[in-house]
Structure 1
């Protein structure tokens, strides 16, 4: 019921993950990233503890493949889980349990990995990886392009209703965290529109946190 990717930008060191599902609020349960460490998606029949655990393991020094191996050793009902990870060196790893739902598959390259379940066909994750690698610009632009490529390749077997995109840079908080928790329309299109609005203001929000004296105002009522 989900397709996603985790990615690292080799130019900036930013990490991001993007995800969409037929279930509500998928990003709230499945998307994880930590500045300087990596990004993780924990999905299928979701165990939300696995995302933070994978990040902790990578922060302790394990590369993504070893972190995922440790997840497989420690996780409960691991045959039902699908977990994707990318680390600070761009190494990727995926665990897809044999009890993943419907058509499930995965694809990997340096700095990006994609996986999905209950897919329309088994080409979707590779289309997502190819979409990310062929896109240009900010990692957010590439994450959106990748998800759109996955949707164009067939996406889920049924309609998706929620989506999210999470990006981290150098701060302890997200650079961007955009979500559509439920829509009868296209949640990926909603996230893309939100990104178009948020991207030009993004650095200003960082500046407000670091030094509000230098932060621009957008001149709207209640601007904060």
Structure 2
């Protein structure tokens, strides 16, 4: 009798898991046992999803977001349709909880799902199925939810929540990373770690999705230390934000602002030749040719192709110096 009951339980659980992996369109869905956070920044309205998992390319599965709409994290025995369907429900005016209720109502695999939604109005909803693999759980706070399954310890959600609340003064991307690092510090995934993602979208749509939708969109698909790599990518992203701001300042002929932005970028990554190069070009365009020439000589010594680029810039108006100064810059 005991063997019969054990076998019956195994078969029912296996059948549920197999059904859950089939999804809503009879397509195989991936596992993504993991920890994640969905959050909204009260000051900016921006929305974020952060994830780490021992699963390849978790960012293609768990994290979903749209500017002015919301963010979704769908994990455990993943129903990927929850991402786009959840966002579509939010666009129709549903709250995060109403959207989540609708997704789960139509899903026979709800007991093995874990999903969280944050909408642009500040509402948050989360579900952890009763058959998610231990340790599994979630914590919901103001403007955020943290959720985890298949964790080494039961402390992960509390650690994530505490870190997110403690670091309220940080920008949203860095704040989300603090929660992910706290999860790993509390034990993380029982299997280890492999990939991570950080997605941030604007809280308000402006009608220009090419500018607004992905404020930050960073993925680490396969790494020994995915969170460490994600942090490096975020620092690089911040540096290139300064570079982009410098370029915009040049377009407006605001050379002082351009130099400030380029300088901030170089300070973060002093060995990056691209950042050094455009700073030198900005110096040359502000009649600081000797200083620019010194920087360029050091760059050419490391990679002569930058000298060839310098030759090409006057033709398109990106380098506005005399022929004599150009000769100096090419030495």
Pick from 7, 10, 14 the counterpart of residue 46 of structure 2: 14
The 3-state SS of whatever aligns with 1:23 is coil
User: Matches of 1:110 and 1:205 in 2, distance apart?
Assistant: 33
Deviations 1:193-212 (A, max 9, x none): 1111112323765998x999
Q: Per-residue deviation at 1:98?
A: 2.0
Mark the CA change 1:182 to 1:72 in structure 2 (over 3 Å): closer, same or farther: same
Tell me which of the two structures has the higher relative contact order, counting C-alpha pairs closer than 8 angstroms and 6 or more residues apart.
1
| Structure 2 CA distance for partners of 1:70 and 1:190, relative to 1, 3 Å | same
Q: Residue 148 of structure 2: which of 116, 119, 136 is its match?
A: 116
Gaps of 5+ in 2: 1-32, 253-257, 263-273, 279-305, 310-331
Q: How many residues align?
A: 220
Which residue matches 1:158? 191
Instruction: Decide which moves more: 121-130 or 22-31.
Output: 121-130
TM-score of the superposed pair, with normalisation by structure 2 = 0.61
CA contact (8 A) 1:18 1:163 kept: yes
Structure 1 runs, 4 residues or longer, greater than 6 Å off = none
Q: TM-score, normalising length from structure 1?
A: 0.89
1:14 and 1:47 map into 2 onto residues whose CA distance is: 25
Q: Which has the larger radius of gyration?
A: 2
Deviates more, 1:2-11 or 1:92-101: 92-101
Shift in Å, 1:46: 1.1
Select the structure that is richer in strand: 1
Q: CA RMSD in A?
A: 2.5
Q: Does 1:42 align with 2:74?
A: yes
Listed as ranges, the gaps of 5+ residues in structure 1 are none
Aligned to 1:180: 220
Tell me by how many angstroms 1:149 deviates.
1.0
Q: 1:4 aligns with which of 33, 36, 45?
A: 36
- 193, 217, 236: which one pairs with 1:197? 236
For the residues of structure 2 that align with 1:119 and 1:206, how far apart are their CA atoms?
Answer: 41
More helix as a share of residues = 2
